[in-house]
Amino acid sequence: MAGTIASDAMRPGSRATAADLRAARVTLRSPGERFSAEILRTLAGLREKGLDRTEALRALFPRTILPDGTYEDLVTGILSGAHLLFFGPSGAGKTSLAKDLWDLFPKGVWVVEGCPVLDHPLSLVDPDTAARFPPCPICRRRFSPEGEASRFDPASTDAARVPAEFVVLREGYGFARLQGSSEVFPDHLTGNINLRKLEEVGDPMSPLVLEPGKLLQANRGFLLVDEIGKLPVGTQNVLLQALQEGTVTPSKSRETFPGSFVAVGTSNLSDLDNINDPLSDRLTSLHIGYNERHADNRRIVTVGRAGERAYVPEILVDAGVRVVEAWRQRMSEENPDIGEVGSNRTLLDVASRTAAVAALSLHGVPGSADLKAGLLHAMRGRIRARSGDSFRQNERRVTEFIDQYLPPALKRSAGVYWCRYFRGVLKENAGEAEALIGEGRRLKDDAELRGRAASEVALFPKFRGFARYVADRERADPDGGTLETAANVFRLLEEFSLFSCGEDDDDTPL
């Protein structure tokens, strides 16, 4: 059976006994130890593929874009076995990052078959393991002489009678998520009485009648607490016991349950002072702020828009990102009314709102006017409405900001786009550029001529080369045709870049 365990260890539903696991020398590690080993294994695989240290750390989180230093701090915290607190402005990606950590977490574990809190079989048959990872009172009764928990002795438990099952952790069984609020009471974390079980057992203080709460559901796995600072102090203290001791003592039970997990909490800046000091001391704080690098913010939008069919020209997408970045630089993220106007959620909203405005106006391909309306819609939608007057005042502030910063953003984005082509493809050949511009001006407003050019490949060779470049960059519907897409981009370049290329126009990629 030992060989079978080794080969079947990753097959959900595989069954064995504690004796089999002991013979196979299966070891029990804490959730933090398992997580650390998985991270190191994954990093080693990435390094074998040729990624350097920074690239490998970044590759652990393909859907979360963070400054490189934040990846380093985050992984260091995991490897050290720490529980984490992500704090920062609303919409910076704290919860998304916590979900990415759960995706990385190793989910295959051996459990006692039928245990509601996923005890490891070896904790019932090995005194050293039981001392470090005490089994739950339900399993102690189950494998004690005459069902008396006080007589439980792991040294005398028949390991061949302890059934083991290999399972994949999932929500409610090794993963629990809690949304912080003032109405989350200790029982939400520890558990409540199951009335059906109470009818069978008859003793309301028996552990057998307990329906596991969030902390018990997370045992052997991962706990995510969103907005941890909104939890009442009494509820925070229940969480503190689990983080300190790896155990949970429900108020409606005489006995203590195991509560060993990796905990990740999130908090907005305004709630940090509400986290009590003992709990805060048990968490390693990590600031998750907005990205300062334009390229990182562009990656957020690219990743977030993956799979979207609505086409928005890259120049407009880029300009929208620049306007939101300008807002972040000039407006306080701590203002509760407008703190989320510059969030990552706004970054993702701008392009989709721009496409929606264009569709509603029957414009086909979005233009600069659609971007302006899309920006207003996305940014205004993130204003916290406390009263009609304050909302209108903040709406005027957003509108005036867009009026001021959108034109230079469009000019900047168009200039970068043109310079990438002029320098990278045309190799700064002014004659080639003039020929292209001449062909583009003939084609841009003449649909019939574009149709003819599409079928006669010898026509407009300069513009056709530009069209291939555009097709590689744009996420346009291929049914629209590469010449049509290129004509739309050309109009934006003519309107905003004037086909000029300043010395700093290519320092930040689109």
pLDDT, tens digit, for every residue of 248-266? Answer: 988 777 788 999 999 999 9
Task: Identify whether the C-beta of residue 413 lies closer than 8 Å to the C-beta of residue 315.
Answer: yes
Tokens of 6: 């080794």
Structural domain including 87 reads 2-286
Residues 304 and 268 in one domain: no
- In-domain check, residue 145: yes
Domain termination residue (choose one: 257, 286, 315): 286
Q: What does the pLDDT read at residue 128?
A: 94
Q: What is the domain-level CATH number for residue 68?
A: 3.40.50.300
> Are 301 and 278 in the same domain?
no
What are the structure tokens assigned to 160, written together?
């061949």
Low-confidence ranges of the chain (pLDDT < 70): 1-10, 193-209, 332-334, 475-481, 503-510
50 belongs to a structural domain: yes
Please give the angle made by the CA atoms of 135, 105 and 232, to the nearest 5 degrees: 70
- CA-wise closest residue to 175 among 234, 99, 122: 99
Domain boundary residue, one of 249, 267, 286: 286
Position 253 scores a pLDDT of: 72
501 lies in some domain? no
> Contacts by 373-380 with C-beta closer than 8 Å and gap 24+?
374/320, 374/350, 375/320, 375/323, 375/350, 375/402, 375/406, 376/402, 377/349, 377/353, 378/346, 378/349, 378/350, 378/353, 379/324, 379/327, 379/341, 379/346, 379/350
What are the residues facing 268 on neighbouring strands? 88
Q: What angle do CA 152, 154, 155 make, to 5 degrees?
A: 120
Note whether 199 and 241 are within 8 A (CB): no
Greatest pairwise CA separation for the chain in angstroms: 95
Domain boundary among 286, 307, 328: 286
- Which pLDDT score is estimated for 506? 43
Query: 460: how many CB neighbours lie within 10 A of its CB?
Result: 24
Whether 509 is covered by a domain: the verdict is: no
Residues 270, 402, single domain; the answer is: no
Both 179 and 60 in a single domain?
yes
**pTM of model > 0.75:** yes
User: CA 172, 176, 179: angle at the middle one, nearest 5?
Assistant: 130
Q: How confident is the model at residue 337, as a pLDDT?
A: 83
Task: Tell me which residue has tokens 């006692």.
Answer: 112
How many Cα atoms within 13 Å fall on the side-chain side of residue 39? 24
How far lies 130's CA from each of 23, 63, 108, 127, in Å? 17, 39, 21, 5
Q: How many domains does the chain contain in total?
A: 2
Residue 90 domain-assigned (yes or no): yes
317 and 280 housed in the same domain: no
Are 153 and 229 part of one and the same domain?
Answer: yes
Burial (0-12, 13-18, 19+ Cβ within 10 Å), 396: exposed
Contact (CB, 8 A) for 308 and 350: no
> Are 274 and 301 members of one domain?
no
